[in-house]
Amino acid sequence: MSKQSTSDSPGRSADWEESVNRFLEQTPDYFLRHPQLLAALTLPHPESGRAVSLVERQVRVLRERNDRLAGELHDLIAIARDNDQLSERTHRFTLAMIEVGSLDEVLDTAHDMLRQEFGIDVVALRLAGNPRPVCPRREFVADDDTVLDALRARLAERNRQPLCGTSLEPDTLTVLFGDQAAEIHSTAIVDMSRHALRGVLALGSRDAQRFRSDMGTVYLARLGELLMAAVVRHLVQADG
C-alpha cells in the first residue's frame, strides 16, 4: 500500500492555501501583470454548475453584493421614515399633555391619542397609590392589586424598560383589558411609577407582530414619562 505524501496531507494543503491567500492580498497587481492567467481561470457556476470565468464570477459576486446593499439602504430609509413619523406623533402628544386642563382631560386625551395617532387597539392605564382620597375613574385601582405588582416586578427586572411581546397570562390580560382581553395578541407594558403613584400603561394590539420582544422601546418609554408627568401635575394641583 502506497503512503500519502507529505505534500498531499490536509495540513500541508491548508498551509499552501494560506500562503496563496496571503500572497494575493499582498500583491494586488498580480493578475494585472498576468492577464492571460486571469482569463484562463474558471470556477463552477453556483447554480448551473457549468464553468465560468473568474471575471464573470466576480461580476456576479459584485452584483449580489450591490443588491444586498441596496436592500439594506432601503430598510434604513424605511426605518428613518418611521422614526420621523413617531417623532412627530410624540411631539403632538407632548403638546396635548401640556395643554390639557384637568386630570380627566389628561386621561381622556391620552386614551384618544394613543388609539388614533399611534394606532393602538386597546389602551389601559392602571395606577395605585393615589394620594387623593377618592378617584372614581377605572384607571386608579386598589393599593393591593397583585397583578399590577407582578407586572411592576417584571419591569424592575428589565431596569424599568418597557416589556413587549405575547407573554402575558390570560388572567393578566383580563385584568388590564377587561372584555377586550380575548382580542389582544401582543402587548407593550410601560412603567408608570413616580412619586406616590405606581402603575403601568398597557397597550394592546390585535396584531401578534405589533409588539415584539426584540423591538425598540425608546418612544414607548417617552410616552409613559410624558403621560405620568401630566397625571402627577394635575393630581398635585387638585390636592393643593
> DSSP string spanning 95-155?
HHHHH--SHHHHHHHHHHHHHHTT--SEEEEEEE--SSS---STTB--TT-HHHHHHHHHH
CATH of the domain at 134: 3.30.450.40
Domain match, 52 and 154 both: no
pTM here?
0.68
- Asked if the structure places residue 133 within a domain, the reply is yes
Domain match, 158 and 42 both: no
Domain match, 113 and 168 both: yes
Number of domains the chain contains: 2
Give per-10-residue mean pLDDT for the chain (240 aa): 50 76 80 69 62 65 82 81 89 95 92 94 88 65 84 92 92 92 95 86 95 92 94 74
Whole-number pLDDT of residue 128: 86
Phi, psi (deg, nearest 5) at residue 215:
-80, 160
Give the domain extent around 37: 9-61
- Asked if the structure places residue 92 within a domain, the reply is no
